[in-house]
Amino acid sequence: MADLRNDWTHNEISEIYNTPLMELIYRAATVHREHQETGEVQVCTLLSIKTGGCPEDCAYCPQSAHHDTDVEAQDMLDRDEIISAARKAKEAGSTRFCMGAAWRCGKETKDFDTVLDMVSEITDMDMEVCCTLGMLTDEQAAKLKEAGLYAYNHNLDSGEDFYNRIISTRKYQDRLDTIEKVRENDISVCSGGIIGMGETDNDRIELIHNLATMPEHPESVPVNALIAVEGTPLEDQPKVPWYDMARMIATARITMPDSMVRLSAGRVDMSMEEQALCFMAGANSIFTGEKLLTTDNNELEEDMKMFDILGLSAREAFKDAKDKHVPKGAEAAE
């Protein structure tokens, strides 16, 4: 069995990343079988609970107030609407419900208190609850933990050098600091990145290196392909080929064998065969449902058909979760 390591060198990860693709997928599949249940994929649902008007200038994001896109700033969705969406997601087979708000940081308002209440209620549905609300203070992270939050998403997006070329309103260290606050409050970490923004292979390798050398690997690593949206600075970027996604997923799987690796944004443009190769490369989590925040996503019916054809099975909530991450009253599945 492959050892869990946090001391990967940049050169080691570069050698893995640059392995011929079929050999790389085979190697990743071997590691995957040693550490994960073959053919098991977690089904997740992501809902934008507060859309648009974000003060950050992330070049890839249509929700930024700096960009002229069709996404308009909206108030937070009604609480009942969000709870209803979570129930529908559970009924459809999702075991993780993720709530995203277009905030620079957690708000010290009644909206944040409403999020805390919703985290508790959705956790009581025996679902893993994940939030992505921007930067957090230690006090906010503690409140989310007390409410029952299982996971917090805060992507590194890319390597630090490239990050500084596509975002100017906050620093890479701000991302790392929020992840540290999440860790310190015993919330599991969801952190990955986006490819197809104009970065080099070396930038992608740096991203994997930064994730794989954290003191604890992120429990969840989303791999996203850029969805180029009109009105953003990256609107003319070409579509990411499936084999680039498979290469990133395989490299993440080999270097972080116990993590969930999520085939995330961009999956809507992939054929079932291309997705199958990504699952073989080590992906074992997807988002399903018509939207990923503001962009199109795969329909549930399509995904269930794919699961049937490929012989995939849905992963239970809290499977193999660390005790410190499991909310009170919930039990980790084995």
Cite the annotated binding site for [2Fe-2S] cluster by residue number: 98, 130, 190, 262
Alpha-carbon distance of 167 to 171, in angstroms, equals 8
- Provide the annotated binding site for [4Fe-4S] cluster: 54, 58, 61
Other C-beta atoms closer than 10 Å to the C-beta of 239 total 12
Spatial CB neighbours of 287, under 8 Å, sequence gap ≥ 6: 44, 45, 46, 98, 262, 264, 265, 267, 297
**Selected catalytic residue, list 44, 58, 131, 278:** 58
**Selected catalytic residue, list 190, 204, 247, 267:** 190
HSE-CB at 246 with a 13 A cutoff on CA atoms is 24
**Selected catalytic residue, list 54, 204, 247, 267:** 54
The question of whether 278 is a catalytic residue gets the answer no
Reduce the DSSP state of residue 92 to 3 states and report it: coil
**Selected catalytic residue, list 96, 170, 204, 262:** 262
Give the type of residue at 81.
Answer: E
Q: Which two tokens stand for residue 151?
A: 């996971």
Q: At what angle do helices 172-184 and 138-147 cross, to 10 degrees?
A: 40
**Selected catalytic residue, list 27, 44, 98, 175:** 98
Alpha-carbon distance of 121 to 237, in angstroms, equals 40
The question of whether 262 is a catalytic residue gets the answer yes
The question of whether 130 is a catalytic residue gets the answer yes
Alpha-carbon distance of 32 to 26, in angstroms, equals 10
The question of whether 98 is a catalytic residue gets the answer yes
The question of whether 27 is a catalytic residue gets the answer no
Reduce the DSSP state of residue 148 to 3 states and report it: coil
**Selected catalytic residue, list 44, 61, 131, 278:** 61
Question: Would strands 285-287 and 291-292 be described as parallel, antiparallel, or unpaired?
Answer: unpaired
CB 148, CB 188: distance < 8 Å: no
The separation between CA 113 and the C-alpha centre of its own chain, rounded to angstroms, equals 24
Q: Which residues pair with 298 in a beta bridge?
A: none
**Rg value, the chain, Cα:** 18
CB 100, CB 47: distance < 8 Å: yes
Indicate which residues carry an active-site annotation.
Answer: 54, 58, 61, 98, 130, 190, 262
